[in-house]
Amino acid sequence: MENKNLTQKSIDTVRVLSADAVQKANSGHPGTPMALAPLGHLLWSEVMHYSPQNPGWANRDRFVLSCGHACMLQYCYLYLTGYNVTLSDIENFRQLHSITAGHPEYGLTPGIEVTTGPLGQGFANGVGMAIAQQYMAKRYNQPDFNIFDYKIYAICSDGDIMEGVSAEAASLAGHLGLGNMIYFYDSNHITIEGNTDLAFDEDVSRRFEAYGWHVQNVPDINDLEALSIAIRNAQKETGRPSLIKVRSHIGYGSPNKHDSASAHGSPLGKEEVRLVKENFGFDPEKSFIVPHDVLDFYREAGRKSSENEDEWDTLFERYKKKYPDLAEEYESISSGKLPQGWEEKMPVFEQGEEMATRKASGKTLNAIAEYLPQLIGGSADLSPSTNTVLEAYPSFSAANRDGRNFHFGIREHAMGAVLNGMALSNYLIPYGATFLIFSDYMRPPLRLAAIMKIRQIMVFTHDSIGLGEDGTTHQPVEQLIGLRTVPNMTVIRPADANETVHAWRVAIEHKEGPVAIALTRQEIPVIDQKKYTNAKNLEKGAYILSDSEGEPDMILIASGSEVHLILKAQEELKKNKIDARVVSMPSWNLFDQQADAYKEKVLPKKIRKRLAVEAGSTVGWMKYTTDDGDVIGIDKFGESAPGEEIMKEYGFSIENIVQRAVALFSKNI
């Protein structure tokens, strides 16, 4: 190898490793890691505070690779600085059961803060991480005790900047003055189809200045001094998020693919990789070579960074002595524990009144908020309709970091991704709210929350055609089944006010994956807790709400506002000498997790005459009704009319349920 200074050799080692890994996998994105290696070098050797031996250290800086396709950059630095990532893992990039997947995956690879890949999501996740840091700092930091002062560093690409979710999130970040964010915009002018001028020629710097960001420009990413100065300037900003635009050259060092789209999403090719190695002074006959002095340099950088954790541990021990109550609260929250007896603060609603489940949800939130300081959230400009305001607390804002009410604006997509970032703090239980129909705007972050198995809670109100006059555009039909099909997502549609209370209990106690609670706009009866089975059984997903006197002739199943209809239908069927069991089924997901014996108890195989009733798509219900059963649902769009009228028009009436039940009972099976 030719004589080079250690810094340049270190940077070029990452470039060659990236090219080797993608080539061996015969799949991946070599060009961007090769271009970004100088930035990665500065971040991991000089800038960020992290602890390879303890990737979850509370006060570490968070790094987000929003352009997740460039993940080999991150994998290389995790390996080099001493995380539990080996050279063998680098060699097994994109292979079955490898911890170095084709895009970064939270929970799979030590040091990965968030799953990224769908462009723009990581950008918005970082906003949530920044909010979490500001909230925790305001609550726990004290004079001379900066327990939480970490920053969020992120790299985003031209593609990230093009995605609408990044625009939503950038606007929110600027409005909130999140000065703990330092983002690097890698402007390499290349996407899969070619040069970005095919579809993109805006002045990104001016756009972000308009959002209220501090913006700098580094014309050459290889100018480490200019890059360092820009980072130091950004670190001084406390009232504005920072964007550092860096000009890079995709496939840097590749003689024939430098600055070309062919370096973006495909291996360079064996011969081109040889030329890259020759260009950087590496032996073209050898692969996955890390010079000893390079490895020693980065391992020492990792060790020095770990000293920040040692200093923090000492600081926190002093903090515990001076502020024992705050320290105890923080340690409890960070361990995932809930205060003993918190659930006893939940309200109980009496039979005889009618109440929309969205209203019951709001009452529940306000009853428990005092005991759960980690519970924070808001809505996408719909809090008066979703009932998600914590009445005793202020709003989170640029001037008030201890506010617990969030105004996400009309930005459902960003709201979902920001909530993911907040949840990834591992301290907070964040919730967001909008109408169920607008869950379509936020499917990508909901899916990513499910992939990461992180807990964010979504309150989706106006859950059916029962919302009424707003008509087809606002009336959900296919949304419930769409959400139910997402692995690791728990969907709960409570039947009344008391089931809503327990939906919140389940959501807060839930450990893995997002929870969606679907709630009514219209008022519905509160089910008599003394006459029927206690709503606490919601935790099992489905339960016998009201049983027949003897063995049932048939089973009526419903969720949400339709449960009170099948209770009335049960009484009417008795007049027809038909004994029906009534099953409330607020959550398919929770029911499917129960033991077979319990599921058999609720839905015995021998009772095949089953009628399900739900104001949504009928898809999926046959799993519970069997082919011999029937479903009253909606497989077309609604229309504008008062809620009560349209529900009746679409078959959600006691009369129609009884008629369909009688027909099913009379059917020979």
Q: Give the C-alpha separation, 337 to 345, whole Å.
A: 17
Which residue spans within 328-471 are E strands per DSSP?
354-355, 375-379, 405-407, 429-435, 457-461
Q: Give the C-alpha separation, 123 to 163, whole Å.
A: 10
Q: Give the C-alpha separation, 245 to 230, whole Å.
A: 10
The answer to whether 232 is a known ligand-binding residue is no
Distance from the Cα of residue 240 to its chain's centroid? 24
- Quote the Cα angle for 495-391-421, to 5°: 80
The answer to whether 264 is a known ligand-binding residue is yes
Cα-based distances in Å from 372 to 61, 342, 490, 610: 26, 8, 21, 41
- Quote the Cα angle for 71-76-81, to 5°: 130
Cα-based distances in Å from 566 to 104, 439, 572, 614, 649: 47, 28, 10, 10, 17
The one catalytic residue among 113, 163, 309, 412: 412
The answer to whether 411 is a known ligand-binding residue is no
E strand or H helix that includes residue 473: none
- Tell me the three state secondary structure of residue 650: coil
The answer to whether 220 is a known ligand-binding residue is no
In which residue are the tokens 């290889």 written?
222
Q: Give the C-alpha separation, 221 to 137, whole Å.
A: 33
Amino acid at the residue 559: S
Dihedral pair phi/psi, residue 212, rounded to 5°: 95, 20
DSSP letter at 210? Answer: H
The answer to whether 240 is a known ligand-binding residue is no
The answer to whether 148 is a known ligand-binding residue is no
Q: How many CA atoms lie within 13 A of 345 on its CB side?
A: 16
The answer to whether 190 is a known ligand-binding residue is yes
Sheet holding 405-407, edge to edge: 405-407, 375-379, 429-435, 457-461, 515-518, 490-492
The answer to whether 117 is a known ligand-binding residue is yes
The answer to whether 187 is a known ligand-binding residue is no
User: What tokens does 364 get?
Assistant: 């529940």
Query: Per residue in 109-147, is it b (16+ CB within 10 Å) or e — as a string?
Result: bebbbbbbbbbbbbbbbbbbbbbbbbbbbebbbeeebeb
Q: Is 387 left (phi over 0), alpha (psi -120 to 50) or beta?
A: left
Which residue from 584, 562, 559, 586 is spatially nearest to 643, judged by alpha carbons?
562
Distance from the Cα of residue 368 to its chain's centroid? 23
Which residue from 545, 400, 378, 385 is spatially nearest to 457, judged by alpha carbons?
378
The answer to whether 159 is a known ligand-binding residue is yes
Counts for the chain of helices (H) and strands (E), in that order = 24, 20
Q: Give the C-alpha separation, 407 to 537, whole Å.
A: 34
The answer to whether 521 is a known ligand-binding residue is yes
Q: 499 an active-site residue?
A: no
Which residue numbers belong to the known binding site?
29, 69, 117-119, 158-159, 188, 190, 264, 358, 385, 438, 462, 470, 474, 521
Which residue numbers belong to the known binding site for thiamine diphosphate?
69, 117-119, 159, 188, 264, 438
Which residue numbers belong to the known binding site for Mg(2+)?
158, 188, 190
Residues with a catalytic annotation lie at: 412
Which residue numbers belong to the known binding site for substrate?
29, 264, 358, 385, 462, 470, 474, 521
